[in-house]
A and B are shown apart, each in its own frame.
Chain A
Amino acid sequence: MPSCRTLMMKRRQSSLVDCAPITDKPGTDRAMRTAVTRARRGAGAPRFAHQQALDRAIAALVQSIPVGPEIAEWFANESLIPAGKRRWRKILFNPVVVAIAIAVMVIAGVFSYRVHERIKDFPGASAARHLLTVASSTRSVLLDPIRTDAGALSDLFFMKHRLEHYDVPPTFADFKTIGCRVFDDEDGQRVAQIWLVEKHMQLFLFPAEKDPQGRRVPDFDDWRFVEQEGWTGAVKQRNGVCFMAAIRGTDKDLAPYLSTKSEQPASSAAR
């Protein structure tokens, strides 16, 4: 059973067909063109053909009306219609122009955001962003439950998983943990993940990025920030391993936990 909308469309198209253009004109709008095409192909095609034939015959008769010489002279000598002015306002509000302008603005916005992001980027930022996505989707049941100080896990990573220099910085070393795990990321790199009781923060330790020649990029001891899906990560790199503290929120939520002074990780010092 045809819907109300279908019936309304059919009625509208049938109504348009009643005043279908007698000859094909370039300025015919899309709705009319569609209605005419359907009328030519549909069940009412013969009726429409008769209508068009009659219209053409009448139009031909009208065209045969002679135009008097004095009237023709007016048209030859007078130019009473001003040349079409370019109306900037009209051009600006043309839906096509508006659509293009919006598209260009969106592309420019995305492009400038990407450029801004790239300027702020540091070696390992893309891996850090990916791990923020991991953080946002991780549930505590995925981790091995272990209740200890975060700093103590460095030894566990070294002894159990042979992960050297996977050290938690002293500023986070005393926080209690809920659990931890070691997994391989998409590039096969070993990643250590620790879940803290404190504000459900998550800590990640992962290998530093290498340059195209396969050399390790220089370490950096200041905190560098990445954001992804409502999570913020503060990253620093030491001994070829990146450490990231991740929290749901902004860098302001992380700021109280970040010590600016350069400190030796507790476990490394012990080793």
Chain B
Amino acid sequence: MTGDLDKAKDAFQGTVREAALRSARGEPPADRLWFFRDARWRCLALTDKDLQAEPGHLAEHEVAPFAPAQVEQLHVEQLAAWVSAAPEPQRSAMALFYLDEFSQAELASVLELKPRELPQLIATGRREFQAWLDAVVPHVDDEA
């Protein structure tokens, strides 16, 4: 979400420290979602000071059958860069969705979204990601 390993570590450590403090006070986090919610806000606070992508319309492509092959050619850093450049709350939605840890209700809870808003964000993000993939890792047809 931050696109920067050090910032991610800061956010993670801040969250764990906060959890430890709460536990010491006898008020431990209610559930595991608390960690993701807290970490998310820390990531947003840390990236708030960075350069922000200009708001604008991004191209969208339908998901292609060759998309997995395109993803295989990506580096993790490229994916992180794309996710961190996405506008909020789409950025958080994509990052948490691809962790493959949560149900739809849990995701909506962590992101503090209405359940019907989440599918829209994911679907739009997916199409934008495909458009970005097509630009970064163009598909070459073997038969061509």
Contact = CB atoms under 8 A, between A and B. Distances in A.
Interface of A: 15-19, 21-23, 25, 27-29, 32, 46-47, 50-51, 53-59, 61-65, 68, 71, 74, 78, 80-82
B98 A62 contact: yes
Contact of A58 (B20, B65, B98, B104): B98
Interface in B56-102: 62-65, 67-68, 71-72, 74, 76, 79, 97-100
8 contacts: A16-B104, A18-B122, A21-B100, A58-B129, A62-B98, A80-B35, A81-B31, A81-B32
Contacts of B12: 71
A145 to B, nearest CB: 72
Chain B interface helix/strand/loop/mixed: helix
Given A16-B104, A53-B67, A81-B29, 19 more contacts: A19-B107, A19-B119, A23-B100, A28-B103, A32-B104, A46-B65, A50-B63, A54-B63, A54-B68, A54-B129, A57-B68, A57-B72, A58-B79, A58-B98, A59-B100, A63-B100, A81-B32, A81-B35, A82-B29
A61 B79 CA distance: 8
A117 B16 CA distance: 65
Contacts of A65: 76
Interface string B13-54: 000100110010000110110010000000000000000000
A80 B71 contact: no
Contacts of B129: 54, 58
A44 to B, nearest CB: 12
Contact of A61 (B9, B29, B71, B119): B71
Chain A interface helix/strand/loop/mixed: helix
Nearest to A28: B103
Interface of B: 9, 12, 16, 19-20, 23, 28-29, 31-32, 35, 62-65, 67-68, 71-72, 74, 76, 79, 97-100, 103-105, 107, 116, 118-120, 122-123, 126, 129-130
A27 B65 CA distance: 29
A22 B104 contact: no
A16 to B, nearest CB: 6
Among B31, B107, B122, which residue has the most Cβ atoms of chain A within 10 A? B122
Nearest to A50: B63
Given A54-B130, A58-B98, A78-B16, A29 B28 contact: no
Contact of B98 (A46, A51, A55, A82): A55
A53 B9 contact: no
B67 A19 contact: no
Contact of B76 (A15, A16, A61, A71): A61
B118 A19 contact: yes
